Amino acid sequence: GAVVSQHPSWVICKSGTSVKIECRSLDFQATTMFWYRQFPKQSLMLMATSNEGSKATYEQGVEKDKFLINHASLTLSTLTVTSAHPEDSSFYICSAIRGGSGTEAFFGQGTRLTVV
């Protein structure tokens, strides 16, 4: 199956600092990537849709100035949490759509962000 690599798998940062999370599709080109946030015992909540070479589309209620998304190539999207606060602590997961006839989304391993 297709492989999506997310890095780092966990990070602890101080309040007020910024954190960058990378999402790479290793063996396929992904024109579209998604970023999700997951709270304990809850399902995945879509934050934004990222298309290569264009601005990300954010879901309602998601602050685009806090969660900066860059999709500079067909294999890499990044999510930067700016001026992080403890309430931003969560599990962040990316996914990528493999082009062609399939529509399956493949997910990264997730990043556990803890803001102290």
Partner 1 sequence: EDQVTQSPEALRLQEGESSSLNCSYTVSGLRGLFWYRQDPGKGPEFLFTLYSAGEEKEKERLKATLTKKESFLHITAPKPEDSATYLCAVTRSGAGSYQLTFGKGTKLSVIP
The binding site for partner 1 (CB under 8 A) comprises 1, 4, 6, 32, 34, 42-44, 46, 49, 91, 93-95, 97, 102-110, 112
32 vs 82, beta carbon nearer partner 1: 32
79 vs 93, beta carbon nearer partner 1: 93
Using alpha carbons, list the distances in angstroms from residue 41 to 27, 38, 89, 98: 31, 8, 15, 28
12 vs 15, beta carbon nearer partner 1: 12
Structure tokens at 82: 């700016």
Q: Please give the backbone phi and psi of residue 96, each rounded to the nearest 5 degrees, phi first.
A: -135, 140
Taking the complex as a whole, the smallest distance from the CB of residue 107 to partner 1 amounts, in Å, to: 4
Taking the complex as a whole, the smallest distance from the CB of residue 9 to partner 1 amounts, in Å, to: 8
CA distance 44 to 106: 14
Taking the complex as a whole, the smallest distance from the CB of residue 2 to partner 1 amounts, in Å, to: 8
51 vs 82, beta carbon nearer partner 1: 51
CA distance 29 to 32: 9
Place of tokens 């996914």: 95
